[in-house]
Amino acid sequence: MKTALRIAARGAAVCCGLALLGCGGVHRVAPASPAPPAAAGVTRNAAVEMQLDALPRDPDGELVRLGYHIFIDTPGYAPRYSGNALSCGNCHLDAGQRAGSAPMWAAWGMYPAYLPRRGRISSFEQRIQQCFRYSMNGVPPPLDSPEVLALAGYSRWLARGRPVGVELAGRGFPAVPQTGAAADARRGQALYGRRCAQCHGADGGGGPLFPPLWGARSYNKGAGMYRVDLLAGFLKGNMPYGNADLKDQEALDLAAWIDGRERPAAPDEGIVSKVFGS
Mean pLDDT of 179-191: 97
pLDDT over 90 percentage in the chain: 76
Is 208's pLDDT higher than 50? yes
Q: Please give the DSSP secondary-structure letter assigned to residue 88.
A: G
Is 271's pLDDT higher than 70? no
pLDDT at 270: 54
What CA–CA distance (Å, rounded) separates 11 from 24?
20
pTM, 2 dp: 0.85
Whether 13 and 108 map to the same domain: the answer is yes
Is 243's pLDDT higher than 90? yes
pLDDT at 21: 37
CATH number at residue 190: 1.10.760.10
Q: How confident is the model at residue 221 (pLDDT cuts 50, 70, 90)?
A: very high
What CA–CA distance (Å, rounded) separates 191 from 1?
49
- The answer as to whether 169 is a domain residue is no
Whether 58 and 133 map to the same domain: the answer is yes
Contacts of 263 (CB under 8 A, 6+ apart): 214, 215, 216, 218, 219, 220, 221, 226
Is 118's pLDDT higher than 80? no
Instruction: Specify the higher pLDDT residue, 35 or 222.
Output: 222
**Cα 43–48–52 angle (5° rounding)?**
130
Whether 89 and 226 map to the same domain: the answer is no
Which residues make beta-bridge pairs with 115?
A: 120
222-236 pLDDT, tens digit per residue, is: 999 999 999 999 999
Which residues make beta-bridge pairs with 212?
A: none
pLDDT over 70 percentage in the chain: 83
Whether 141 and 218 map to the same domain: the answer is no
pLDDT at 40: 80
Of the given ranges (15-29, 175-189, 228-242), which has the lowest mean pLDDT? 15-29
Whether 45 and 135 map to the same domain: the answer is yes
Structurally, the chain folds into a number of domains equal to 2
Q: How confident is the model at residue 240 (pLDDT cuts 50, 70, 90)?
A: very high
pLDDT at 17: 40
Among 94, 90, 99, 112, which residue's Cα sits nearest to residue 223? 90
- The answer as to whether 267 is a domain residue is no
Among 180, 210, 216, 182, which residue's Cα sits nearest to residue 198? 210
- The answer as to whether 275 is a domain residue is no
131-167 pLDDT, tens digit per residue, is: 999 999 999 999 999 999 999 999 999 999 999 999 9
Whether 62 and 149 map to the same domain: the answer is yes
Whether 154 and 189 map to the same domain: the answer is no
Is 252's pLDDT higher than 70? yes
Whether 146 and 192 map to the same domain: the answer is no
- The answer as to whether 80 is a domain residue is yes
> What residue numbers bound the domain in which 106 lies?
2-158
Instruction: Specify the higher pLDDT residue, 83 or 27.
Output: 83
Number of H helices, E strands in the chain: 13, 2
Instruction: Specify the higher pLDDT residue, 35 or 114.
Output: 114
- The answer as to whether 93 is a domain residue is yes
3-class DSSP assignment, residue 224 = helix
- The answer as to whether 56 is a domain residue is yes
Whether 125 and 8 map to the same domain: the answer is yes
Instruction: Specify the higher pLDDT residue, 271 or 177.
Output: 177
Whether 217 and 131 map to the same domain: the answer is no
- The answer as to whether 31 is a domain residue is yes
Whether 145 and 210 map to the same domain: the answer is no
Whether 71 and 207 map to the same domain: the answer is no
- The answer as to whether 179 is a domain residue is no
